[in-house]
Amino acid sequence: MTGDYAASEKFLCTMIGARLSDHVHQQLPDGSVLSVAFMHTGLRHHSVAYVEGPIGGTSKLHHVEVTANRIADVGTSYERLQAAGIRMGITLGQHPNDMDMSFYAQSPSNFLFELGYTGIRIEDEDAWSPRVYDRISLWGHTF
């Protein structure tokens, strides 16, 4: 999470050579806006993202993601966590910007653990144009 959205992008670009993948600016039910910037350092759509807006919680780290090898791994893990009584932070869904299908489980350390599959890759940096999206999920991802 950041208190200075523009400075965070400048820092990541300057210090680690990250490039902008895209932005999401989603209006929330209370009228506030959740702004997320996605940055990449390699072929994966994003290596890091930062948020300005009300996402709750006490941790500055919102989540980390591990990418599964198969969509079935995401589904069976989702079922196993539910059966074990592990609290879901965000249910199964799909993001519009990277097309990642994922869910988020609550970790004991008060941040979320995302397990996902299919995230797009930026194969040709020169042909990539960052986009702006108006929502964080195509479907699912209920808090």
Helices within the chain (DSSP H only): 5-16, 71-83
Q: Which helix (H) or strand (E) holds 46?
A: none
Measured on CA atoms in the order 53, 56, 57, 58, is the torsion positive or negative? Answer: positive
Residue 45 to residue 115: CA distance in whole angstroms:
15
For residue 78, what are the contacts with CB-CB under 8 A and spacing of at least 6? 92, 103, 115
Task: Return the pLDDT at 56.
Answer: 62
Task: Return the pLDDT at 61.
Answer: 84
Residue 37 to residue 115: CA distance in whole angstroms:
20
Q: Which residues of the chain have pLDDT under 70?
A: 53-59
Task: Return the pLDDT at 54.
Answer: 61
For residue 131, what are the contacts with CB-CB under 8 A and spacing of at least 6? 22, 23, 97
Task: Return the pLDDT at 2.
Answer: 85
Task: Return the pLDDT at 58.
Answer: 65
pTM of the model: 0.89
Task: Return the pLDDT at 57.
Answer: 61
CATH of residue 91: 3.10.180.10
Task: Return the pLDDT at 1.
Answer: 84
Looking at the structure of the chain, the number of domains it has is 1
Domain that holds residue 62: 5-140
